[in-house]
């Protein structure tokens, strides 16, 4: 089974990230498991509204339309629902025409255990505990926040923060512990030393592999680095990406400016950042995933 996923991007998404389940979750929290199960069974033919990650899932799956051979992308569903209560979710998946055929329903247990088994490079969930557990086991993951998500461009556009997302948090640790001057000096001295990869390095690499099959002008994917870094700390970023032989289409070095307006201009379908304050700003403009990794989340 593993060989089947080796050459494609596999993204695992929780049911509450894919669909609006707040009302159902409120029943669970206020009335308990039995009332929740009855509610889902009674409403299994009532379609769920799209959730914060729905548009991303739709665009990811659309990449398969022009695939000449094997699918480029697979989206799998990981859910704390049971198979019984999950029938409503699959009914909604079929209604919207999402090509999601694989799922794990865990009856209240954390589904992050199945990220590796499905060969997923990325796990998106609204449950911060599940996300932290996934990251702790070495898998890229993000907590999907209630966000604006209205990019209607046909191209899939994904934006990443740098330190503690694409790159390790070693430089960010210097900044947090010793200040801006020490950070800037370290980056100047280490400008030619590639940074270690962060939790989302392999996600970017998988996107790059899809892009590599297309020309720069007709790629169905566009990526961006949106970082608080500025010159001269930009040089190490550029040389790191060069050493990884990974293409990134746009790089924004903002020197601490708020990121939201730039993400809106980029028309990001989703943005990943490790710092909650940056996520809170970004979610006003685009779909946003918080990556609880590194010193900023210690």
Q: What amino acid positions are annotated as catalytic residues?
A: 161
Question: What is the pairing mode between strands 270-273 and 221-227?
Answer: unpaired
What six digits make up the tokens of 54?
């729905």
Taking the CA atoms of residue 77, residue 80, residue 86 and residue 91 in that order, the dihedral angle to the nearest 10 degrees is -40
Q: Please report, for residues 8, 10, 18, 183, the alpha-carbon distance to residue 170 in angstroms, rounded to integers and kept in the order given.
A: 30, 28, 33, 10
Q: Where are the alpha helices (DSSP H) in 96-233?
A: 128-136, 170-178, 180-189, 201-211
Per-residue burial over 155-178, b = 16 or more CB atoms within 10 Å of its CB, e = otherwise: ebbbbbbbbbbbbbbbbbbbbeee
Q: CA neighbours within 13 Å on the CB side: how many for 254?
A: 18
Cβ–Cβ under 8 Å, residues 105 and 79: yes
């Amino acid at each position: 089974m593993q060989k089947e996923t080796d050459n494609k991007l596999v993204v695992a998404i929780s049911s509450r990230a894919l669909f609006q389940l707040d009302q159902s979750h409120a029943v669970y929290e206020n009335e308990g498991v039995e009332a929740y199960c009855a509610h889902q069974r009674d409403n299994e033919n009532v379609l769920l509204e799209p959730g914060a990650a729905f548009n991303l899932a739709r665009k990811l799956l659309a990449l398969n339309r022009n695939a000449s051979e094997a699918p480029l992308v697979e989206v799998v569903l990981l859910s704390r629902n049971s198979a019984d209560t999950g029938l409503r979710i699959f009914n909604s998946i079929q209604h919207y025409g999402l090509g999601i055929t694989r799922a794990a329903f865990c009856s209240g247990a954390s589904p992050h255990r199945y990220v590796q088994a499905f060969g997923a490079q990325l796990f998106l969930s609204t449950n911060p505990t599940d996300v932290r557990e996934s990251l702790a086991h070495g898998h890229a993951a993000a907590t999907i926040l209630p966000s604006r998500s209205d990019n209607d461009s046909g191209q899939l556009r994904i934006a990443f923060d740098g330190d503690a997302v694409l790159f390790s948090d070693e430089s960010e640790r210097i900044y947090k512990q010793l200040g801006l001057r020490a950070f800037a000096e370290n980056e100047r001295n280490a400008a030619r030393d590639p940074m270690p990869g962060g939790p989302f390095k392999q996600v970017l690499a998988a996107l790059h592999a899809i892009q590599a099959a297309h020309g720069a002008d007709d790629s169905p994917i566009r990526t961006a680095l949106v970082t608080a870094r500025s010159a001269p700390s930009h040089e190490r970023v550029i040389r790191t990406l060069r050493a990884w032989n990974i293409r990134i289409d746009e790089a924004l070095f903002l020197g601490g400016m708020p990121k939201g307006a730039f993400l809106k201009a980029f028309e990001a379908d989703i943005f990943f950042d490790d710092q909650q304050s940056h996520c809170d700003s970004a979610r006003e403009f685009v779909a946003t995933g918080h990556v609880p990794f590194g010193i900023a989340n210690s």
